[in-house]
Structure 1
Amino acid sequence: MKTRIPAKTRTLPFLSLLAVIQACFMPPPEGDETPEAVDTAVGQGLAAHVYSRPPVPTAYYEPPSANAVFVAPGGNDTAGTGTEAQPYQTLGRALQVVNAKPADATTWTVVLKAGTYREGDLTVSRPRVTVQRYKGDVVSLRGSVAVTGFSGTGPYTKTLTGFDPTPVEADCADTVLLGQAGRDHGSETPFAVTRAGIPLRRVAPGATLSSGQYRYDAATNVLTLADSPTEVEVALKRWALKTNAPLVKFAGLDIQNYATCTVNWSRTVNGLTYYKGAVLLYRDTESDSGAVLENSTVANNAGNGVGVAHGRDIRLSGNVLVNNGWTGAQASNAQRLIVDHNVMSYNNVRRWANTVEAGMKVTFIRDGVVFNNLFEHNAANGFWCDQGCGATDPGDRWFVLARNVARYNDAKGLFYEVSHHGVIASNVVHDNSQTGIAVFGSRNVQLWNNTAVDNDASSAGYSANVSIVDDNRCFSGDTVPGGKACTTANGCDPQVAGNYDHCEPSSVGPLANTCNAEGVVLMNNLLSGSLSARPLLNVDDPNATAYGAPAILQAHDYQAYYRPSTGAPATLIRFQRAANTSAVSYASLAAFRTANPGREPQSVERTGGTRHPFFVNAATKDFTQDPASADVWGRGQALPSEVLKAVYWPQTSPAQPSARIGAIEWRDKPVASACVVSAPVHHRRNPTSGDHLFTTMLSEAESAASTYGYTDNLGVAFLASTTAGAGLSPVYRLYHPTVMEHFWTIDAAEKQSAQTTYGYTTDEGIGFHAATAPGPCLVPVYRLVHPAASRHTFTTSQAERASLVASGWTDEGPKFYAGAPQ
């Protein structure tokens, strides 16, 4: 009988999501640079999270010539007029002035000069307001109090004075979000401490302190640190900036150390309202917003960094959301949300385990775009859409999850759950503790040209490098894709209207969140390795169910699989062949094809080798496809319209890219420098002696033809360099005076042997320079020898190589790498 995926591993919302739907996104109306604090928390099996000081914003903002209000630390709130010559001293005063302006079509801009503004609990209520930095000034908003005067030599103690920490020691977290064991002591409070710009983790009073930790005893008001008290900050203000007004922009700001709380949206305790984010962009009901947070740092907050709700056309662009106690950003009911070019890393510092935390978590986002972001080192999932992502008009626009990098996260890299009409394309996902790319209970999802490498250190029965899984939840009485009714007797988990899992009946139409996995396309993906015994690809329902993988997958082909050995892992693909059966483990692609005729006919599998067969340099995490690999370069299915537009967003009519398997473009893709090999190497042959000549000097080639009999002009063999360069080595040129034959080698030891042992006694110096390893603009140059005639030649052509072997030449393999002839 089918059972539900256990909540502990399934990471689906439990009863908390009822509150998420009803309250979380229904905000009330509002009138030292050295890395430290290595975290070795249980469950982080890949790379320790080493926190460092968040970067300051670098974007440049010229102040407008009109309708601007200036603020500077040396200004005056009473005597100042808000001009650049007579600025206000506080952002609060500037917003008081701007909020009082008529709500007309004029945009007012608050311009902040360089300095630290210890302000917060601020609201922008007027439409069309921008809050920005002045030019390149570093503008820091801090919700904290600097604490000095510690005593001791380690640990260090301080009785807090001069401010009241009682409000931030309140238990403000929603009860349903308190999660499982393992979160930090006191994480239900917004009390937070940083040292030198790095978050510290709290332990219970009396507990032994380790580096990167602190204790706070509310009874005695004593703060104790393990490390020397450098730039110690205690969060005090509950949020930095929030707005429910449309067309508001926050730009170029450094926002840190706010006492945000782990709540669905807000919670009032002892007369004070605590919020989920330091920056809050929302509307009271679903309506147009156009609010923007760009090129800003939001970091070191007790709970979330950013909260988004209800507003349409909100954009988060170019931000750094790091070191937050809970999630970097959360968003819901925000149609056409754009999240692009952000870094969301090192979040969930407090180790919450309540099925909400992630680098970014979103719900009910139609027509959204998540493009070119980095989700890294989060103690949670990297990016997670849970329920309701999709499209309002699939003929025009799908939910886009493209060109992102997700790596070193404690859970899944990219997670698309109980949603529909999503394009997950051209992402690079590697070294995540759980599944690299997970698509659970979702319909009409396009998975194209993703690169997933060495994910999944877990042992969950449905996990994999890439995993596509049906969810046994469904709407009560509905008919699931296998044709059976959604009943407990049929192994399903029936849900009713308004339930927290929000399954919808199929009668709603193609845009319903039915909790079923169907209509998924898996094409042109590169899957390499696994960090456990789990397979590279998993497509199934965790138990025998009403239907199997053939109903889940609409199409799948042109994958490229690689394992270091056939035992790493032993299972390549796990696939549920038919309804009411268990998934089958296949040890090889050949075995999978035999059992499933017609599936993945154009896919390839490679195993072993001294270097990765698909990448330029996998050892350095450069996952650029090797142009010399015919397995991945120049192969693959052409991209359909919705995928093409996702990969090249925001273009509406992009051109089809050159064919390849794996990611096409992605965040921080290594940019190939101008190719250092550009000199044509001319190939001449002496038909009498049979000797081959390779030279970068056209004059020498022509002279060799007219004077020495090298009259066979074989064109340009390849491109090399006439000078030394980065990554290049000399190719030595020797001559055998007895047999009258030239010889080239990039190997200095081989050169010495050829001179002393084989008679190539004439050293003609360096013929040209080439590479010993492949690169984006390089192809292998093969050397062949004809033993009977004692002749050597080179070629980059597979066809010529095969022809020479057929006529008696011995293939010596690739000897160096050069540019392909043009």
Structure 2
Amino acid sequence: MKIRIPSQTRTLALLGLLPLLPACFTPPGLEDETAGTDLATADQPLVAHVYSRPPVPTAFYEPPAANAVFVAPGGNDSTGTGTEAQPYQSLGRALQVVNAKPADATTWTVVLKAGTYREGELTVSRARVTVQRYKSDVVSLRGSVAVTGFSGSGPYTKTLTGFDPTPVEADCADTVLLGQAVRDYGSETPFAVTRAGIPLRRVAPGAPLSSGQYRYDAATNVLTLADSPTEVEVALKRWALKTNAPGVKFAGLDVQNYATCTVNWSRTVNGLAYYKGAVMLYRDSESDSGAVLENSTVANNAANGVAVAHGRDIRLSGNVLVNNGWTGAQASNAQRLIVENNVMSYNNVRRWANTVEAGMKVTFIRDGVVFNNLFEHNAANGFWCDQGCGATDPGNRWFVMARNVARYNDDKGLFYEVSHHGVLASNVVHDNGRTGIAVFGSRNVQLWNNTAVDNDASSDSYSANISIVDDKRCFTGDTVPGGKACTTANGCDPQVAGNYDHCEPSSVGPLANTCNAEAVVLMNNILSGSLSARPLLNVDDPNATAYGAPAILQSHDYQAYYRASTSAPTTLIRFQRAANTSAASYASLTAFRAANPGREPQSVERSGGTRNPFFVNAATKNFTQDPASTDVWGRGQALPSEVLKAVYWPQTAPAQPSLRIGAIEWRDKTVAAPCVVNAPVHHRRNPTSGDHLFTTMLSEAEDAGRDWGYTENLGVTFLASTTAATGLSPVYRLYSPTVLEHFWTIDAAEKQSAQSSYGYTQDEGIGFHAATASGPCLVPVYRLVHEAASRHTFTTSQTERASLVASGWTDEGIKFYAGAPQ
């Protein structure tokens, strides 16, 4: 819902990387369902990746009252005026009009009515432009053409007519990436086919077909499918939307079937530029952007879904990035990038095995936030930062990876490599094919209160549930933490300035990317089970002997270890005790302590039994800590400032939580029935107008603070639900353009009265859902009114309630019940 300002929208919350190439990344132009089969490395995935049709967005976007340009399938690009009564027919025409608007502070909004827009290769060049859906309309952008008229009864064939497939059959991939042998046939082309909304995998001409596969013979222009030809689409347009302008937002869109390319950013072939992403947010050089992609689906693209570069303060929020041929999203050189509340799953459909494969991969992101995302079923790593993630001011802000869930990925769950000043906290990683949480060649990393369960089906010598390792890369002539020089003679791999791996000398200072593993803190983590013979924890230098785990780990304690049997695996911890030694394997925590006095004195080890003692029900993947377990509940170290702020981001001064080992809060954490209210309701106030804003959308609250004067951040007042559920009722949100005030009520009769008699004429829909009666986990929410100022507010606090009454507010009593703020 909008906050009266035309560009402000509300939504209901939905729960590029650059390849590892030289840092010459400059955006050019500026220059029937199928199951996953083999891992990119020839290992088998832990579970089959069964693809399904991507979900359509569910966010609600009220159109602004002014500065809006409307588009509808029934409109007309020639005679239309862009009004709601006379809309344009195409997004391209609307952007042509909006891009030509004066470059002033006005925000223009393109509003798309329901329909499928087979458009693409569109650019937003004007600053402060929003492209959004109309209310709850399903707005689909398709870069494909529908193909019908197949012959046969299985296989099914069709000679393609009516469009030229030659451009999408071009080899547009980077040479370096093509050097990686493992991938599906034809992956170097942007030619892509979907059936019933599900990506198909290509096989060579003449090869036998299985369900979920297709052949395309460019010589005869014949497309052959194994499965009945239902809703067949062939990608044709090279990208959907790109912008290098600041203040641009894409919201509530369904973007699918674009012919993107496996490339660093773009590559020109036969006069055509092929791009890496269907949606691209970038700047020509490192500068402010503030671009946003929110509550959108980006799926079924030939290569990458979303690409980000060079822009500061870009946000990816509430999106579903699935079924893309390469990665879901990639980003580089984008300071203060925020990646929150997204689902990135089933990516790397084409089974690339290169230096990029991940649900999302980023490089050179300082002060970034990766918060409350789900990375699952990627035929690759879940999330991977490789090169230069870290902090610009460690006293105030680190690179944050918190509250994420990474599961069922073929490779590592969460991967932090050759970076510095990162906080990996309160994440849940389970059932990943390799290491659950990997910290490689990185310094000043805080690993707190993570839950890592049943990861690592591999036999890699450096892998584990949690693995912290150094490798032999370092800056030539530098001194590694063990005191030896970075030389080949000392077992190192010296790198020079501007090198491929971007190692920097330690003389650069505490923010240098030295490629060394050092000053890592490991505290309050649960490490449970293993899918192979690999240990639960691995800390060593597997390639060189320059220094050992004591130099890598600054401190570590209060871990909780569990194995179903002491022989599964036989090694609990693998730990390189000292420089110039091989890592030692310890069968028990007792053996580890005896050999390493003073280390992990408060950690616990458990094994055997009919159930995992740390969790409510590990057998059903419910990794909520069991309050009856004194091993994990009420124990642990208090969180230091940088970790506390990461777990409760974006709060700047959160309260210390109750002590526990393992993840404190994380995405999709099981909530005990019947408590169904778990969405924070953010409270902002405009000190000029006095209006109070309550919203479940953090993006709306932050936009309101930044753009519309709601600068007083009053935190989270209570927890509500963003969807209907048993026992809950809608809380309606209204606005009065006369007194400039928002109003909320759970009473439908009061809503009608406010609209008809008291001037709250703008119906802004349902703000959230709450209960009309008390119940478990619910607290009363009081509404107060300041009649002289025509202002209303809510509180669950008796102290605040009394203070407001004392200062002239009238207590209207309990209006509904919601969850207590955490």
Contact kept? 2:471, 2:544, Cα under 8 Å: no
Aligned partner of 2:315 in structure 1 is 315
CA distance in 1, matches of 2:274, 2:231: 25
- Give the residue type in structure 2 aligned to 1:28: G
What SS does the aligned partner of 1:233 have? strand
Contact kept? 2:471, 2:543, Cα under 8 Å: no
- Give the residue type in structure 1 aligned to 2:24: Q
Aligned partner of 2:369 in structure 1 is 369
CA distance in 1, matches of 2:593, 2:675: 40
CA distance in 1, matches of 2:228, 2:521: 54
Aligned partner of 2:69 in structure 1 is 69
- Give the residue type in structure 2 aligned to 1:590: T
| Pairs within 5 Å for 1:193-592 | 193-592=193-592
CA distance in 2, matches of 1:252, 1:311: 22
Aligned partner of 1:28 in structure 2 is 29
CA distance in 2, matches of 1:508, 1:538: 29
CA distance in 2, matches of 1:635, 1:336: 33
Contact kept? 2:191, 2:236, Cα under 8 Å: yes
CA distance in 1, matches of 2:280, 2:272: 17
Aligned partner of 2:624 in structure 1 is 624
Deviation, structure 1 residue 675 = 8.1
Q: 2:20 aligns with which of 17, 22, 25?
A: 17
Q: 1:39 aligns with which of 31, 37, 40?
A: 37
| Pairs within 5 Å for 1:83-102 | 83-102=83-102
Deviation, structure 1 residue 43 = 2.1
Distance 1:544 1:248, change over 3 A: closer
Q: Deviations over 1:8-63 (max 9, x none)?
A: xxxxx99x6344x103x443328x8xx54453554233101000000000000000
CA distance in 1, matches of 2:543, 2:68: 62
Distance 1:675 1:75, change over 3 A: closer
Deviation, structure 1 residue 472 = 1.0
What SS does the aligned partner of 1:93 have? helix
Aligned partner of 1:598 in structure 2 is 598
State the superposition RMSD in angstroms. Answer: 1.6
CA distance in 2, matches of 1:462, 1:172: 35
CA distance in 1, matches of 2:269, 2:484: 49
- Give the residue type in structure 1 aligned to 2:454: D
Distance 1:581 1:38, change over 3 A: closer
Q: Which has the larger radius of gyration?
A: 1
CA distance in 2, matches of 1:353, 1:610: 39
Long gaps (5+) in structure 2: 1-16, 677-725, 727-775, 778-822
- Give the residue type in structure 2 aligned to 1:651: Q
What SS does the aligned partner of 2:50 have? strand
CA distance in 2, matches of 1:674, 1:52: 30
Deviation, structure 1 residue 397 = 0.1
| Pairs within 5 Å for 1:44-193 | 44-193=44-193
Q: Deviations over 1:76-95 (max 9, x none)?
A: 00000000000000000000
Deviation, structure 1 residue 277 = 0.2
- Give the residue type in structure 2 aligned to 1:197: G
CA distance in 1, matches of 2:596, 2:36: 47
CA distance in 2, matches of 1:674, 1:44: 39
Aligned length, in residue pairs: 661
Q: Deviations over 1:258-279 (max 9, x none)?
A: 0000000000000000000000
- Give the residue type in structure 1 aligned to 2:164: D
CA distance in 2, matches of 1:36, 1:354: 23
CA distance in 1, matches of 2:486, 2:652: 40
Q: Deviations over 1:92-112 (max 9, x none)?
A: 000000000011000000000
CA distance in 2, matches of 1:574, 1:549: 10
Contact kept? 1:475, 1:504, Cα under 8 Å: yes
Deviation, structure 1 residue 674 = 4.4
Deviation, structure 1 residue 544 = 4.8
What SS does the aligned partner of 2:393 have? coil
What SS does the aligned partner of 1:50 have? coil
CA distance in 1, matches of 2:157, 2:285: 47
CA distance in 2, matches of 1:254, 1:157: 29
CA distance in 1, matches of 2:267, 2:125: 21
CA distance in 1, matches of 2:189, 2:143: 15
Contact kept? 1:185, 1:203, Cα under 8 Å: yes
What SS does the aligned partner of 1:49 have? coil
Distance 1:271 1:285, change over 3 A: same
Q: Deviations over 1:784-815 (max 9, x none)?
A: xxxxxxxxxxxxxxxxxxxxxxxxxxxxxxxx
What SS does the aligned partner of 1:359 have? strand
Contact kept? 1:115, 1:139, Cα under 8 Å: yes
What SS does the aligned partner of 2:20 have? helix
What SS does the aligned partner of 1:642 have? helix
Long gaps (5+) in structure 1: 1-12, 677-725, 727-775, 778-822
What SS does the aligned partner of 1:594 have? helix
Q: Deviations over 1:163-196 (max 9, x none)?
A: 0000000000011111432301000000000000
Aligned partner of 1:787 in structure 2 is none
What SS does the aligned partner of 2:94 have? helix
What SS does the aligned partner of 1:590 have? helix
181-190 or 131-140, which deviates more: 181-190
Aligned partner of 2:760 in structure 1 is none
Contact kept? 2:449, 2:526, Cα under 8 Å: yes
What SS does the aligned partner of 1:96 have? helix
Contact kept? 2:546, 2:580, Cα under 8 Å: yes
CA distance in 2, matches of 1:36, 1:174: 28
Contact kept? 2:299, 2:305, Cα under 8 Å: yes
Deviation, structure 1 residue 673 = 2.2
TM-score by length of 1: 0.79
Contact kept? 1:179, 1:353, Cα under 8 Å: no
